Structure 1
Amino acid sequence: MDPKRDSGLNEDTRSWQSFHPLTHNHEAKKEEGITKKRGGKPGAVLYKQLVSSVRDTPRVCTSHGTDAPLGPLIIIMKKIITVFGSTEKIISSPLSTIPTTNPPTLGAQGGSVAKALLEDGTFAVRAVTRDTSKPAALKLKEAGAEVVAADLDDKRSLEAALTGAYGAFVVTTHGWEDSSKEKEIIQGKAVADLAKSLGLKHVIFSGLENVKKLTGGKLEVHHFDGKGEVEEYFRAVGVPTTSVRLPYYYENLLTIFKKHTSKDGKVYDLRLPVGDVLLDGMSVEDLGHVVVSILKSPSEYIGKDIGLSAEKLKVEQYAEIMSKVTGKTIKDAKISPEDYEKHGGAKTLANMFRFYMMRPVRDVELTLKLNPKAKKFRHWLEENKEAFKDL
């Protein structure tokens, strides 16, 4: 093999080289299902996501006296991205009186990221789940992901899930119980410490603002504040990190912020207490390709906090679009955060809306640069209008 011809593999690229014996007609044998096992630990699965290229170098086949292709098979393994939250659901909603049959989930974020990475093909995907037998996990495996069992509360399994990875998409859990914020911080710091010790080159963290810190303690939004502290910790320990901050999910309209029927039963009230402030929105399904774009341009995005938004609309505009698409009469209930809280809304969510009214940075232009196909609300609603037929 000519080392000059076969150099050009950078230090981030792993390769194996092997020579193929010739068949009688001088054709190189083809190998399928090339595998490499990893010691029997979690994550020790078959590497199906290999990019291979054969460089045929003419050599003399002495047994036949002719030139024949006897070049090295160079197998280049893609950089691995460990994706957390690929299938798990958030434990529960803080609004016990509101149906939550299909709540927004960690699986929605991680699943979106894993799917987009597989579609793009630049990176290998290691999808992390607590239960590898779940249908969602099996589907990811069928699509070409390496699916491994790990738990954010189990350091040994986390280390196995991150070992050998180039980068990771990390989303921590928030279960709404009183201790959840502290638990989320512990989980996030454990991942950050491992990412640092294992030398990961790029972590994308699903973060949010530390509202308590930003407002000098005037507002506490537990599911924001915990993620905000973890964001800060990743940077403090020196992990190359990009934080993506999602806005209000369109999917929330199907669950915890479902429409309320007016007293006469003919009109549906959309109860989003932000006044006339423009509320940023986005489908969680569109997060995946945002993450792919960030991973492909690390020098541009490492160290940045990216506030995402596909569109900015007033609640009145959300209601108007919903009326037109669903054929039902839906109106802005025009309630304040105070009214929302008085009528049974969780204080932490009332504070979230108060924070939204402060207009945190969410960048539509950058979001559409990262994912040009991110859906506007009307487009998303038209795709999902069947879900609203039984309002």
Structure 2
Amino acid sequence: MTSPRIVSVFGATGLQGSAVVDALLKDGTFLPRAITRDPNSATSQKLKASGAQVVRGDSLDKASLLSALEGSEAVFAVTVVNFPHVDGKDEVTQGRNMVDAAKEVGVKFFIWTGLPGVKRITGSKLRNCTHFDDKEIVQEYLKSSGLAHASLMLPAFLENLWSYGILKKTPTGHTFSLPLSPSKKYQFAWIGRDVPAAALALLKNYTDAAKFEEINGKAYAVVNAKMSNAELAEKMGRVLGVEVTYTQSPPMGIAEMDEMWEFVNEYEGYYSTPIPNPDLLALGMKFSTVDEFLEVEVKARYGQ
């Protein structure tokens, strides 16, 4: 009997990881292994019932990752944001443990989900946006590790509309606000659809010798749209059939977040790749659209 091609998935109980597990199960080429701190949780048990392997592993405990990743062909890696930043529990520690453990057990391909370094891009003008900067530090560590890998670079999550309670109902429709300009154009992705599609495209192509040299070490921007929040509100209003308004809110008073908003306002197009990314299209990925997202996700949650 042929051994299953196991892809170990970090963050399997969260938005990105759970979507990747679902996509791997539906595709059938690979067997997803969910890495979780609590294999007995209700969410973990649902993953197990769906057909995924579920094993214990803590990204702050490298020893646990060595056993969790044993026998894995590939890894999909997501770190947990650490606010406030605590040395030893930060994303750099998590990411390095994942990379080191994967290398030690012989993982063949590592997919990292990253963000641009704010401190680097702004010349240290903004130095508190650790949830961006830490991911770039891990990405550089991954590059130096010698592991075959690729990075998926993520923009704003469209799912944040409900996961952070941003879109709110009013007597006449809905409203949302962020410390971002209503007119500047920002980059978005339907994370639950586009991240697993990109991950599958990489996993299905990295073993092709002709494509490996192109894929290995490359960073792919996963962006399905560039639009202003005012335009997004207008699109939502048309889909929901009610008025949706956007207003710019004041800073939040949290250094990490306020510097993130400042960075995004100044560098709203920090990924220069055409939309959709032609390199991912060439690997067979099909991007979602904002219109599809609104019809499938927003209408189901906020429709009358």
TM surpasses 0.5: yes
2:258 to 333, 341, 350: 350
The percentage of counterpart residues that share the same residue type is: 31
1:237 to 126, 145, 170: 145
What's the counterpart of residue 314 of structure 1? 228
Where does 1:273-292 land on structure 2 (aligned, <5 Å)? 273-286=180-193, 287-292=195-200
1:200 CA drift (Å): 1.7
- Which SS does the other structure have where 1:219 is aligned? coil
**CA–CA distance in structure 2, aligned partners of residues 314 and 228 of structure 1:** 26
Q: In the alignment, does 2:289 pair up with 1:382?
A: no
2:133 to 205, 225, 231: 225
- Which SS does the other structure have where 2:113 is aligned? strand
- Which SS does the other structure have where 2:220 is aligned? strand
Residues 274/345 of structure 1: CA separation in 2 closer, same or farther (3 Å cut) = farther
- Which SS does the other structure have where 1:179 is aligned? coil
1:269 CA drift (Å): 4.6
Residues 296/252 of structure 1: CA separation in 2 closer, same or farther (3 Å cut) = same
**CA–CA distance in structure 1, aligned partners of residues 253 and 239 of structure 2:** 28
**CA–CA distance in structure 1, aligned partners of residues 87 and 302 of structure 2:** 31
1:183 CA drift (Å): 1.7
Residues 268/379 of structure 1: CA separation in 2 closer, same or farther (3 Å cut) = same
**CA–CA distance in structure 2, aligned partners of residues 277 and 250 of structure 1:** 16
**CA–CA distance in structure 2, aligned partners of residues 175 and 327 of structure 1:** 39
Residues 195/267 of structure 1: CA separation in 2 closer, same or farther (3 Å cut) = closer
**CA–CA distance in structure 1, aligned partners of residues 138 and 198 of structure 2:** 21
What's the counterpart of residue 57 of structure 2? 150
Q: In the alignment, does 2:37 pair up with 1:85?
A: no
User: Amino acid of the residue matched to residue 224 of structure 2?
Assistant: A
What's the counterpart of residue 156 of structure 2? 248
Residues 83/210 of structure 1: CA separation in 2 closer, same or farther (3 Å cut) = same
Alignment coverage as a number of residue pairs: 290
- What TM-score does the superposition give when structure 2 sets the normalisation length? 0.86
Q: Which structure carries more relative contact order (alpha carbon 8 Å, separation 6+)?
A: 2
1:216 to 107, 116, 123: 123
1:167 CA drift (Å): 1.2
1:303 to 214, 217, 238: 217
- Which SS does the other structure have where 2:82 is aligned? coil
What's the counterpart of residue 46 of structure 1? none
User: Amino acid of the residue matched to residue 195 of structure 1?
Assistant: A
User: Amino acid of the residue matched to residue 70 of structure 2?
Assistant: T
**CA–CA distance in structure 1, aligned partners of residues 42 and 18 of structure 2:** 12
Residues 261/135 of structure 1: CA separation in 2 closer, same or farther (3 Å cut) = closer
Residues 328/144 of structure 1: CA separation in 2 closer, same or farther (3 Å cut) = same
Where does 1:323-334 land on structure 2 (aligned, <5 Å)? 323-333=237-247
Alpha-carbon contact 1:281-1:312 (below 8 Å) kept: yes
What's the counterpart of residue 277 of structure 2? 366
Residues 145/182 of structure 1: CA separation in 2 closer, same or farther (3 Å cut) = closer
Gaps of at least 5 residues in structure 2 are 207-211
Residues 246/265 of structure 1: CA separation in 2 closer, same or farther (3 Å cut) = same
Answer with 1 or 2: which has the greater Rg. 1
**CA–CA distance in structure 1, aligned partners of residues 154 and 84 of structure 2:** 22
**CA–CA distance in structure 1, aligned partners of residues 88 and 256 of structure 2:** 12
Residues 378/346 of structure 1: CA separation in 2 closer, same or farther (3 Å cut) = farther
Where does 1:26-41 land on structure 2 (aligned, <5 Å)? none
**CA–CA distance in structure 1, aligned partners of residues 88 and 202 of structure 2:** 27
Alpha-carbon contact 1:282-1:374 (below 8 Å) kept: no
1:351 CA drift (Å): 2.4
**CA–CA distance in structure 1, aligned partners of residues 48 and 254 of structure 2:** 38
Residues 137/182 of structure 1: CA separation in 2 closer, same or farther (3 Å cut) = closer
1:283 CA drift (Å): 1.5
Gaps of at least 5 residues in structure 1 are 1-74, 88-106
1:252 CA drift (Å): 0.7
User: Amino acid of the residue matched to residue 288 of structure 2?
Assistant: K
**CA–CA distance in structure 2, aligned partners of residues 315 and 151 of structure 1:** 37
